[in-house]
């Protein structure tokens, strides 16, 4: 059943019809489509374009359709209808008769689909927000628990300086905090209502665009009707936000995979988030973390796809834009499930504190602090750097750490060293004395206070 058969003399080629149809994927917009139609109809009646009786008939017809779809009594038939808009309109006409034919007065599917997608994205942003906040809560709990769990910090994946697990996790907390604020920006910018833009040039009916915008929770109507129906910037922004979330989850996954390896043994992923091997009985693999990392490419792909789809389109609506949906839906679904699983995996992760602390001690992570000791005792930093470099070389030859080198050896190279060098380069000092804002020592103090972050 088509909305546009009038000027045609031949049936659409079957394959062309299927190729053109979008119901198989835009059916998930049914709620937003009905919500938008209800606001449109209320406004049409208020403006005297429809009678109150027509409005009431349409509203109750739409409410019935919504209820039936939701309880599974009405299933969008993909062989008969082109898209969710024609499916709902045809159903409405079948239910209430002639009044249903007036629903589309002063509207086009172009402004309708633009509205539906904005409403959908708004709903999904609030779902994404709450999953991100669950993840941040889990991180916050772990940070409080591990305020003084020592571990090595790395640069170039080489041990660099000691830090705490809370400090390391806190870096991810900051990334997700920025992700939240990016989603809020996207929401704020998209929150202008395209309804009333019509096909591209508005309409001659006296529509009250402010009223529909307000009824649907928008900050106001969009300013240019051509832009309203051809703008997909907000989807590209969303896909970019989602790509960044995935990039953060992917880096975090990569670290958990490393930490969970036999070589590191910093953590053990719970059985609930691991899988086995069909051949090697001993294996417990971090598949969930690997898949989160893997699915990052898929989300990036959707961003590139939509950017590419949009780049050559003349104004205003073009059917190419129907290609915005599957990628956006899939990206949202992917990020939602990745956030949920990742949070579950994180909450059940076991941290091997002793292994982490031991790893933080060896590898000369206290070399900077040894140099700083000399600086505090009057040696210029560049000289101190050279002296500690020589001591590190000596320790490597002896197969020991700076903590185990006898004071006499220290003094042979530089007489400034005294007994208090050992305290100055202890793991505890190295971490706790790092009190600059944002450093691990300062974080210990901050985490002791409520609220922590
Ligand atoms: N299914 C279409 C889409 O997703 C709806 C808009 C159709 N508009 C049109 N002029 N054919 O873009």
Helices (H), 146-232: 165-190, 209-215, 225-230
Angle, CA 430 vertex, CA 427 and CA 433 arms, to 5° = 135
Q: In this structure, are residues 91 and 65 in contact, taking their beta carbons and an 8 Å threshold?
A: yes
DSSP H or E stretch at residue 351: strand 350-351
Q: For residue 32, what are the β-bridge partners?
A: none
Token pair recorded at residue 164: 């705490």
22: three-class secondary structure by DSSP: coil
Measured CA to CA, the distance from residue 40 to residue 104 in angstroms comes to 9
Q: List own/partner pairs for 207-213 with CB under 8 A and 24 or more apart.
A: 207/43, 207/44, 207/47, 207/49, 207/106, 208/43, 208/46, 208/47, 211/42, 211/43, 211/46, 212/39, 212/40, 212/43
Domain boundaries, the chain: 14-105, 110-157+164-204+223-353, 358-449
pLDDT of residue 280: 79
pLDDT at 1: 65
Q: What SS3 state is found at 3? A: coil
- pLDDT tens, residue by residue, 90-129: 999 999 999 999 999 999 999 999 999 999 999 999 999 9
User: Which pLDDT score is estimated for 147?
Assistant: 96
pTM above threshold 0.85: yes
Q: Which H/E stretch holds residue 158?
A: strand 158-164
pLDDT score of 7: 77
Cα 410 to averaged position of ligand 1 atoms, centre (Å): 77
Q: What are phi and psi of 299, to 5 degrees?
A: -70, -45
| Catalytic member of 24, 126, 261, 277 | 277
User: Has 385 been annotated as catalytic?
Assistant: no
pLDDT digits (tens, 9 = 90+) for 300-328: 999 999 999 999 999 999 999 999 999 99
Ligand 1 atom at minimal distance to the Cα of residue 317: 10
Best mutation site among 84, 113, 117, 118 for ligand 1 pocket (most ligand atoms within 8 Å of CB)? 113
pLDDT string in tens for the chain (453-residue length):
677 677 778 887 889 999 999 999 999 999 999 999 999 999 999 999 999 999 999 999 999 999 999 999 999 999 899 999 999 999 999 999 999 999 999 999 999 999 999 999 999 999 999 999 999 999 999 999 999 999 999 999 999 999 999 999 999 999 999 999 999 999 999 999 999 999 999 999 999 999 999 999 999 999 999 999 999 999 999 999 999 999 999 999 999 999 999 999 999 999 999 988 777 778 789 999 999 999 999 999 999 999 999 999 999 999 999 999 999 999 999 999 999 999 999 999 999 999 999 999 988 999 999 999 999 999 999 999 999 999 999 999 999 999 999 999 999 999 999 999 999 999 999 999 999 999 999 999 999 986 655
Partners of 283 in beta bridges: none
- Residue 376, both tokens: 């505090």
Answer whether 83 contacts ligand 1 (Cβ < 6 A): yes
CA of 60 to the centre of ligand 1 (A): 26
DSSP 358-422: HHHHSSSTTHHHHHHHHHHTT--HHHHHHHHHHHHHHHHHHT--GGGS-HHHHHHH-TT--TTHH
Q: How far apart are CA 242 and CA 160, in angstroms?
A: 31
From residue 175, alpha-carbon distances to 181, 244, 354 in Å are 10, 9, 27
CATH 1.20.200.10 fits 110-157+164-204+223-353, yes or no: yes
Q: Calculate how far, in angstroms, residue 94's C-alpha sits from the geometric centre of ligand 1.
A: 22
Candidates 3.10.129.10, 3.40.50.1000, 1.10.275.10, 1.10.10.10; correct CATH number of 14-105? 1.10.275.10
CATH architecture of 358-449: Orthogonal Bundle (1.10)
Q: DSSP character for 97?
A: G
């Amino acid at each position: 059943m088509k909305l546009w058969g009038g000027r045609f003399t031949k049936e659409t080629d079957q394959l062309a019809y299927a190729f053109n149809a979008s119901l198989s994927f835009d059916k998930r917009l049914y709620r937003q489509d009905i919500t938008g139609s209800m606001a449109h109809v209320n406004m049409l009646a208020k403006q005297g374009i429809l009678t109150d009786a027509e409005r009431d008939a349409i509203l109750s017809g739409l409410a019935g359709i919504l209820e039936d779809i939701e309880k599974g009594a009405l299933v969008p038939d993909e062989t008969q209808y082109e898209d969710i808009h024609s499916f709902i309109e045809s159903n409405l006409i079948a239910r209430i008769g002639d009044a249903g034919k007036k629903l589309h007065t002063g509207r086009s599917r172009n402004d309708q689909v633009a509205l539906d997608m904005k409403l959908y994205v708004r709903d999904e942003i609030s779902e994404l927000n709450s999953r991100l906040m669950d993840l941040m809560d889990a991180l916050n709990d772990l940070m409080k628990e591990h305020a003084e769990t020592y571990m090595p910090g790395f640069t170039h994946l080489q041990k660099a300086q000691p830090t705490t697990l809370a400090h390391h996790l806190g870096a991810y907390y900051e990334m997700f905090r920025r992700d939240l604020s990016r989603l809020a920006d996207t929401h704020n910018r998209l929150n202008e209502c395209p309804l009333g833009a019509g096909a591209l040039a508005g309409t001659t009916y006296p529509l009250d665009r402010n009223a529909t915008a307000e009824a649907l929770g928008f900050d106001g109507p969009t300013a240019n009707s051509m832009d309203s129906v051809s703008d997909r910037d907000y989807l590209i922004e969303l896909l970019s936000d989602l790509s960044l979330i995935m990039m953060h989850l992917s880096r975090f996954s990569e670290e958990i995979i490393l930490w969970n390896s036999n070589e590191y043994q910093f953590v053990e992923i719970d059985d609930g988030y691991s899988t086995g091997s069909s051949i090697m009985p001993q294996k417990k693999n971090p598949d969930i973390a690997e898949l989160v990392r893997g699915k990052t490419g898929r989300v990036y792909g959707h961003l590139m796809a939509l950017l590419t789809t949009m780049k050559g389109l003349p104004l205003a609506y073009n059917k190419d834009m129907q290609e915005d949906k599957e990628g956006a839906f899939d990206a949202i679904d992917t990020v939602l499930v990745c956030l949920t699983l990742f949070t579950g995996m994180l909450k059940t992760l076991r941290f091997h504190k002793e292994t982490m602390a031991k790893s933080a001690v060896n590898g000369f992570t206290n070399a900077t602090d040894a140099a700083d000791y000399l600086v505090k005792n009057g040696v210029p930093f560049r000289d101190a750097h050279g002296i500690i470099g020589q001591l590190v070389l000596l320790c490597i030859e002896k197969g020991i750490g700076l903590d185990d080198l006898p004071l006499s050896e220290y003094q042979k190279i530089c007489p400034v060293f005294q007994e208090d060098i050992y305290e100055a380069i202890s793991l505890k000092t190295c971490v706790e004395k790092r009190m600059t804002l944002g450093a691990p020592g300062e974080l210990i103090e901050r985490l002791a206070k409520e609220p922590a972050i």
